[in-house]
Structure 1
């Protein structure tokens, strides 16, 4: 599997990254999926301290500890679980990030995190404090690089302009092309895109038409529009899931597509789709068939 450089850093990430949120809660089952990922060249693994109230990090840590030196491990911070454990609040303070990173290190059974990501963000955050905290953790060797997971353009623009962040995670697919407007911002700040939602909740797979028939709407696509666009995309001379993946990868700003998997079979299907080549003209046609929209909220100049 090919790798891509993460910003201007020394880190290189596999073009498919395993989104660990979907892993089974049973350790043995999760181990099997992660082993399939490793055997097929996936080296980027993405989790968050919020997933399953921290249990996901424990599962990932257990599964990857013997391969730690061969992989790029990423997690996220900012969502603080309530003491009751039945909800969370947003806390990007230096105190919380510093406490949280050490808790993540313990759960992940490692002494450093490769990519530490702010798990959201608002314009009310003290962004200078957040960045200073990330920079301090980096100097201490606790994290190697840092980034942000957000779909808010104003938050992303401010974070990138003030920091040395190497990555931005955004929902991006053929059915959600809103991030494309901001690719130049990422490139100008030497930041790499981590795309999530590449398969649009399974709409951009072989099961797309079946799923679309049961979906009332998807973003600005009405039920009928969704059925129509999936039908024409599915008729193109390449598997729909392959078109979806290679559409995201055709952009140089993309680093990894974060794909989830709840079974070995599901992951192997995604890997097979990745290895199926798709001609440029089909990707161009797919682009012409789908909406190129923009974020209407959280504008940089709003």
Structure 2
């Protein structure tokens, strides 16, 4: 598994990251999936305090007992959990500095490698939020921080005013919005992109045609159901690679992207994604062919 540096940090992360949200609440099953990921060379695990109302962090923490030094552990904050299971957006300094203690407790660790703001809008108290993360760095509770956002205006504010090392954002062959105004900006500032949703709900996997039928009936972003069917069929005709391999290699080809996060609810899914990266990088011809099969779309509502 190839590894590289995350932004301007000293975190060395695998080109595939395990998104823990899909692990479920069966700890033994989660352990098997995480162990398989680690054995396959994945060292980057991503969770959030919101997932299963904190239980996901607790499971990850239990599974990593005795293995903490083997992983780059990332989690997120900003969705204020209430006792009744609901939540509200809270990027305040007070909440972030309070909640990190709960995440540390659940994760059974005394530091978080990468602490991420789990969303955000341009109307947030961004300066206050940045102060919270900077103070947590100074206190040694987190090593680095980043944001999880697809809002270009929010991203640009953090690029200008913070020391983020990464931005997690949705990016795939079916969602090429980041290419227009975000990817080059981040690369030029030595901030890594961590791409989530690289397989677009499975519609960019080796089961693309089936998944388009199941999950693309109402379309996807700017694509109609018919367009999704055409794309799945056309991707199936690209020579030399599986659809999963093409999809992962496409996003990892951009200089801004350091890692692609995939969710897994089975060992089989881990194996499929890891095996998809055994092939070499895309050729220029393949890259251009994939761009011709899909289309460039732009951010509209998410500003």
Query: Who is 2:168 aligned against?
Result: 169
TM-score, normalisation: structure 2? 0.96
Query: Who is 1:297 aligned against?
Result: 301
Task: Please state how far the C-alpha of 1:188 moved relative to its aligned partner.
Answer: 2.7
- Matched residue pairs, number? 298
Query: Who is 2:264 aligned against?
Result: 261
From 242, 245, 248, give the equivalent of 1:245: 248
The whole-number CA distance in structure 2 between the counterparts of 1:109 and 1:240 is: 38
The whole-number CA distance in structure 2 between the counterparts of 1:184 and 1:37 is: 30
Query: Who is 2:238 aligned against?
Result: 236
- Native 8 Å contact 2:167 2:191 kept in 1: yes
| SS of corresponding position for 1:134 | helix
From 283, 286, 290, give the equivalent of 1:282: 286
The residue correspondences of 1:58-73 to structure 2 (distance < 5 A) are 58-73=58-73
Gapped regions of structure 2 (runs ≥ 5): none
- Native 8 Å contact 1:242 1:278 kept in 2: no
| SS of corresponding position for 2:103 | helix
Query: Who is 1:51 aligned against?
Result: 51
Query: Who is 1:145 aligned against?
Result: 144
The residue correspondences of 1:97-246 to structure 2 (distance < 5 A) are 97-181=96-180, 182-214=182-214, 215-216=216-217, 217-237=219-239, 238-246=241-249
Q: Tell me the alpha carbon deviations over residues 139-194 of structure 1, each in whole angstroms, 9 at most, x when there is no partner.
A: 11100000000111111111121000000010000010001121121123221000
| SS of corresponding position for 1:170 | strand
The whole-number CA distance in structure 2 between the counterparts of 1:276 and 1:16 is: 14
The whole-number CA distance in structure 2 between the counterparts of 1:159 and 1:233 is: 36
After TM superposition, what 4+ stretches of structure 1 lie above 2 angstroms from structure 2? 276-279
- Native 8 Å contact 1:187 1:253 kept in 2: yes
TM-score, normalisation: structure 1? 0.96
The whole-number CA distance in structure 1 between the counterparts of 2:293 and 2:146 is: 32
- Native 8 Å contact 1:242 1:277 kept in 2: no
The whole-number CA distance in structure 1 between the counterparts of 2:281 and 2:133 is: 39
The whole-number CA distance in structure 2 between the counterparts of 1:52 and 1:265 is: 23
Query: Who is 1:5 aligned against?
Result: 5
CA RMSD of aligned residues (A): 1.1
The whole-number CA distance in structure 1 between the counterparts of 2:208 and 2:187 is: 32
Task: Please state how far the C-alpha of 1:207 moved relative to its aligned partner.
Answer: 1.1
Gapped regions of structure 1 (runs ≥ 5): none
- Native 8 Å contact 1:243 1:278 kept in 2: no
- Native 8 Å contact 1:161 1:189 kept in 2: no
| SS of corresponding position for 2:167 | strand
- Native 8 Å contact 2:169 2:194 kept in 1: yes
Q: Tell me the alpha carbon deviations over residues 205-240 of structure 1, each in whole angstroms, 9 at most, x when there is no partner.
A: 121111212322011110111101111111111100
The whole-number CA distance in structure 2 between the counterparts of 1:48 and 1:213 is: 30
